Structure 1
Amino acid sequence: MNANRRTLLKAMGGSAAIAALAGCSDDDGVSGPTMWTDLADAEDEDMQAAIAAYEEETGLELTQEEPGGDLDQQIETAIPAGDGPHSWIWAHDWVGRFAVREEPEFLYDASDDIDVDLDAYTGAARDAVQFDGAVHGLPFASETVTLYYNEDMVDEPPETLDEMVDIMEDFHDPANGEYGLSYPATDPYFASGFLQAYGGDLYDEDALEVTVDSDECKQGLEALETLFDYIPEDPGYESQIIVFADELAPFAINGPWELGNLNEEVENVGVAELPTVDGNHPRTYSGIQMFYFSSMLADAEDDTLDAITGFAEWYTTNEETVLDNADNHGFIPVLEAAVTDADLSDEVEAFAQQVDHGVPMPTHPDMDSVWEPVEEALTRVFNEDQAGDEALDQAASEIRERL
């Protein structure tokens, strides 16, 4: 996943200050037990409340901190220096990449430390947190991007891309600051659904092959280029989300992390699965949000290990918390009990339907070499600096050179 995705999620007025909760101190010099988070404002508030409830219930202490920069880069720097967190929150796509690192190690195998049975989670979630038999975290939600629509501007969500284009045409007026769509469309994570709509994959994890230059992906890019025509000139996250929040566009394509923020900004927000393209459902990448167990736990005090693993168990198996996350943030439950018994909201059902159409992000370390060349290719196409087929051919060549 593009490492900038979560960093930019706080476009709606900036991040609320995090109240650091006092913790003990480990011999490794890290204030502990420490968890790094980079969350949207509404998510952050609920996480703080959950930590406070856990502390009161257990008597254990946990410090929640922002990393002070790009989470990916901060982890890469801090853990080798012995200053990293004991846990962090991110989607599952980093598991393989960090699990194969040996000098230094970045992840901790908590197989012998957790009490929860992994069968408590869905099969996809169980698989996401493991690598070569090691348990490197615990999962709490599934997510993907799908279609938001302003119910005061759109009566019914479009079922096909052609229907969506017809509606966007009615609203698109850039000269007056109005657009058909809010969509960070040059980010491969956001663009994945349309790029893969015809059955192609950016990366074939089974065959360990780069396939972004396949005929199917090129056909998908043609559909994506249709949407390029209806978004603001700056495809960056912040420039995109603000036009939907200010009710200057009828549609947005975004993830559940924005649901709480958008419900505060837009009076009537609807969520639907993405429209079909020539009868094909867009195959968006989906991610499993999880608590990672950092290698900093290997030498941590017992209280720190207990607090980190205990909170992850408590949070991910607490059905009330899981359902609150679904209601407040559109998180799709991965706790089997919640999936089986819950009466999910229409918004969460829409995200769940889109997850069913999508594919899990590859966890193989090779995927790290895919994101940047594809984003650069999409940016060139968006800026009309290169034709679509040529851009994907160039991206594929650059990726293969890196591998």
Structure 2
Amino acid sequence: MNEKRRTLLKTIGGSTAIATLAGCVTTDDSDDGSSGDGSGDDGSGDDGSSQPTDGAGEATLWVDLLDAEDEDVDGYIADFEEETGHVINKEAPGGELDEQLDTSIPAGDGPDSWIWAHDWVGRFAVREQPPFLYDAADDLDVDLDVYTGAAQEAVQFDGGVYGLPFASETVTLFYNEDMVDEPPETFDEMVEIMEEFHDPAAGEYGLSYPVTDPYFTSGFLQAYGGDLYDEANLEVGVDSDEVKQGLGALETLFDYVPSDPSYESQIVVFADGLAPFAINGPWELGNLNEEVDNLGVTTLPTVDGNNPRTYSGIQMFYFSSMLADADQERIDAITDFAEWHTTSEEVARNNADRHGYIPVLESVVEDSDLSDDVQAFAQQVDHGVPMPTHPDMDSVWVPVEEALSRVFNGDQDGDAALDQAAEEIREQL
């Protein structure tokens, strides 16, 4: 997945601040939750305003979320602290999360936990000098069976449990109900509607879609059964006939998006009512519901009868190697908070209602009261595949993104671009 995605989302404005979860005890600090110097941004811990009670511990959590998500985490932490006496110091990483981890953990001043999708588990779990993750299997009380099967798998690697899951995410189809009477069920139907609205000379387009990002385009690339990376067999599939066929479908969509494929340029045209469709993730639900009067969400249309196989990510609390030498109270503080957060039905439902988070807590997944939007994303998750966690996957993202850029810009044909990408990937492995 594009590791800069969440930072990009924050730079384009994010969700406006809204009230925290009903019943939560909010903190005194009502800013946006950011702290460029890495100091606690929720008013606890470093400034002495909150200290753990006897027998409780204090731990640090790094988050890089949209404003509304960040506010709710403040509320969850406040509730947890009041119930348990533990203290969780929530901080912003102060830059790109992976880069800050690369600097802080070797220096011994990294966080005890951070929030990110599961695709880092494999490469961080095998890193030994220094280790990045902590196996908390012996410190957890929760039975992993309370989570969906995909979520259970996502937080484990080679027998270790390196975090706890709280949501899944993927991309699917948004549509403007004022422009589209019925969402398309097939790719051809979608093309027909895009053709009706596409008029670049007037600043109008058929689609908003960051088409050179492999995470966003994985569904179409893998629609015919090919895998960018076959984790079961540890094989690169970028140059397979099936992926090349998928790129053929994706190239059709190239004709209907703005000339700048970057995330910011794409999302704004849909938010401004200048495109009938957008392909994006649940993190944009709050923003788009504010910008688009009648927003619809549905699964991606079938391509020659095939459901696009989008990559899905499992959002999780990672357990940092900073815990390896920590006292038990500190370990308990962060593992207890992760358990409290990820097993709370109230938290899961609130995150689904307010942020479009797709629940991974089984008791909530089975709840038919989830909104239509969240159910649409959940259905797309069912059609898709989890992002591979094997460290080899790190070598796949950039060559595929560069290949898509060359095709989008007309510098290379699709088959040749994928052949070149596959060769580059295999040379790195």
Q: Taking structure 2 as the reference length, what is the TM-score of the superposition?
A: 0.90
Q: Secondary structure of 2:358's partner?
A: coil
Q: Percent identity?
A: 76
Alpha-carbon distance between aligned partners in 2 of 1:310 and 1:145, rounded to the nearest angstrom: 31
**Paired residues for 1:365-376 under 5 Å:** 365-376=391-402
8 Å Cα contact 2:32/2:71 also seen in 1: no
8 Å Cα contact 1:41/1:261 also seen in 2: no
8 Å Cα contact 2:212/2:401 also seen in 1: yes
2:190 matched residue in structure 1: 164
Shift of 1:11: 4.5
- Quick one: which amino acid aligns to residue 5 of structure 1? R
Alpha-carbon distance between aligned partners in 1 of 2:94 and 2:259, rounded to the nearest angstrom: 29
Shift of 1:81: 1.3
Alpha-carbon distance between aligned partners in 2 of 1:84 and 1:188, rounded to the nearest angstrom: 30
8 Å Cα contact 1:137/1:291 also seen in 2: yes
Deviations 1:289-311 (A, max 9, x none): 10000101112233322221111
Alpha-carbon distance between aligned partners in 1 of 2:62 and 2:210, rounded to the nearest angstrom: 25
Deviations 1:39-80 (A, max 9, x none): 123222222221222222222211222212211121122111
8 Å Cα contact 1:332/1:351 also seen in 2: yes
Q: For structure 1, which segment, 364-373 or 51-60, has the greater mean C-alpha deviation from structure 2 after superposition? A: 51-60
Shift of 1:268: 1.3
8 Å Cα contact 2:206/2:277 also seen in 1: yes
| Aligned counterpart for 1:245 among listed residues 250, 271, 282 | 271
Alpha-carbon distance between aligned partners in 2 of 1:72 and 1:262, rounded to the nearest angstrom: 28
Q: How many residues get paired?
A: 399
Alpha-carbon distance between aligned partners in 2 of 1:258 and 1:121, rounded to the nearest angstrom: 24
Q: For structure 1, which segment, 214-223 or 76-85, has the greater mean C-alpha deviation from structure 2 after superposition? A: 76-85
Alpha-carbon distance between aligned partners in 2 of 1:315 and 1:206, rounded to the nearest angstrom: 31
Q: For structure 1, which segment, 46-55 or 182-191, has the greater mean C-alpha deviation from structure 2 after superposition? A: 46-55
1:350 aligns with 2:376: yes
- Quick one: which amino acid aligns to residue 6 of structure 1? R
1:22 matched residue in structure 2: 44
Alpha-carbon distance between aligned partners in 2 of 1:21 and 1:136, rounded to the nearest angstrom: 28
1:330 aligns with 2:352: no
Alpha-carbon distance between aligned partners in 1 of 2:177 and 2:67, rounded to the nearest angstrom: 24
Deviations 1:242-292 (A, max 9, x none): 111111111110111111121122111110000111111100001111000
Q: Secondary structure of 1:292's partner?
A: strand
Shift of 1:132: 1.3
Segments of structure 1 that go 5 or more residues without pairing to the other structure are 27-31
Shift of 1:117: 1.1
1:29 matched residue in structure 2: none
1:257 matched residue in structure 2: 283
Shift of 1:14: 5.0
| Aligned counterpart for 2:209 among listed residues 183, 192, 195 | 183
Cα 1:92–1:317 change in 2 (3 A) is same
- Quick one: which amino acid aligns to residue 72 of structure 1? D
Q: Secondary structure of 1:252's partner?
A: strand
Alpha-carbon distance between aligned partners in 2 of 1:53 and 1:361, rounded to the nearest angstrom: 33
1:8 matched residue in structure 2: 8
8 Å Cα contact 1:33/1:86 also seen in 2: yes
2:152 matched residue in structure 1: 126
Alpha-carbon distance between aligned partners in 1 of 2:14 and 2:282, rounded to the nearest angstrom: 18
1:364 aligns with 2:386: no
Alpha-carbon distance between aligned partners in 2 of 1:251 and 1:7, rounded to the nearest angstrom: 23
**Paired residues for 1:35-184 under 5 Å:** 35-184=61-210
Question: What value does the CA root-mean-square deviation take over the aligned residues?
Answer: 1.7
Alpha-carbon distance between aligned partners in 2 of 1:157 and 1:208, rounded to the nearest angstrom: 37
Give the ranges of 4+ consecutive aligned residues of structure 1 lying more than 6 Å apart after TM superposition. Answer: none
8 Å Cα contact 2:177/2:296 also seen in 1: yes
Alpha-carbon distance between aligned partners in 2 of 1:148 and 1:160, rounded to the nearest angstrom: 15
8 Å Cα contact 1:34/1:86 also seen in 2: yes
- Quick one: which amino acid aligns to residue 9 of structure 2? L
Q: Secondary structure of 1:9's partner?
A: helix
Alpha-carbon distance between aligned partners in 1 of 2:368 and 2:325, rounded to the nearest angstrom: 40
- Quick one: which amino acid aligns to residue 333 of structure 1? P
Alpha-carbon distance between aligned partners in 2 of 1:65 and 1:172, rounded to the nearest angstrom: 44
Shift of 1:317: 0.3
8 Å Cα contact 1:11/1:242 also seen in 2: no
Q: For structure 1, which segment, 15-24 or 392-401, has the greater mean C-alpha deviation from structure 2 after superposition? A: 15-24
| Aligned counterpart for 2:60 among listed residues 34, 55, 64 | 34
8 Å Cα contact 1:78/1:84 also seen in 2: yes
Alpha-carbon distance between aligned partners in 2 of 1:138 and 1:275, rounded to the nearest angstrom: 32
Alpha-carbon distance between aligned partners in 1 of 2:180 and 2:312, rounded to the nearest angstrom: 26
Alpha-carbon distance between aligned partners in 2 of 1:285 and 1:266, rounded to the nearest angstrom: 26
Q: Secondary structure of 1:88's partner?
A: strand
- Quick one: which amino acid aligns to residue 3 of structure 1? E
8 Å Cα contact 2:271/2:292 also seen in 1: yes
Shift of 1:206: 1.0
Q: For structure 1, which segment, 170-179 or 210-219, has the greater mean C-alpha deviation from structure 2 after superposition? A: 170-179
Alpha-carbon distance between aligned partners in 2 of 1:294 and 1:215, rounded to the nearest angstrom: 40
8 Å Cα contact 2:42/2:74 also seen in 1: no
